[in-house]
Amino acid sequence: MPRSMTAGEVRRYLKEGRVEALATRDPIAIRLAAGRWHVLEQALGDRPDEEVVDLEKVTVGVKLAAEALGYTPQQVRRLIRERKLMAEKQNDQWRIPIRALL
């Protein structure tokens, strides 16, 4: 995954993931793709499609990361402690870059 992409590229990537999940007809894959889309669309906010987004600097909290990954917040914190998920502590809260969720 590149370090930066345009907001439009991220949205297209997420849409492709949702289409693939729907094609499998697997309810778990569909739920995960929808959760990832919901979280990352929130993280991108109102950015125009042409805007370049640094995927390392745009972050989400543990709860949203858990939704995007299909885990519980406790599982996400464990992955962070085990250094299996990239995260940075800011003001006593873990922040996970969206690059780790794509």
Report how many domains make up the chain: 1
State mean pLDDT over 50-69: 96
The three state secondary structure string of 38-64 is HHHHHHHCCCCCCCEEECCCCEECHHH
Percent of the chain predicted with pLDDT > 70: 100
Q: Which domain holds residue 25?
A: 4-101
Digit-coded pLDDT (tens) for 24-48: 999 999 999 999 999 999 999 999 9
- Per-residue pLDDT, 3: 93
